[in-house]
Amino acid sequence: MENPEHPAETLEQQRARYTAGQDYQVISGQLYRQQDGKYNVPRYCPREHEVFDLIVKEHASELMHAGRDKTLAEINRKYYGITKKEVTF
């Protein structure tokens, strides 16, 4: 018998849950994208309110104003989900 407070998942929802479990992991309470063929370490998935500060940190502090392309490459190496558009604003 189904619980009306928790309706059954659709097949699409089940697939999404399975994929999320395969592609992501939680480390110390933070979400990371699993390593893959291109990136050999898990990459942090920042929350929306963290993105700007992370871009500034990488560009100004870590790379010492190295430029847009190097900043984007470093962002992609460390983080998952920050777009080129966000870096090149």
For the stretch 30-84, pLDDT in tens is 999 999 889 999 999 999 999 999 999 998 887 777 888 889 999 999 999 999 9
Task: State the DSSP string of 19-86.
Answer: HHHHHEEEETTEEEEPP-SS-SS-EE---GGGHHHHHHIIIIIISSS--HHHHHHHHHHHBSS--HHH
Ordered structural domains, the chain, with CATH: 11-87 (1.10.340.70)
Question: For the whole model, what pTM was predicted?
Answer: 0.75
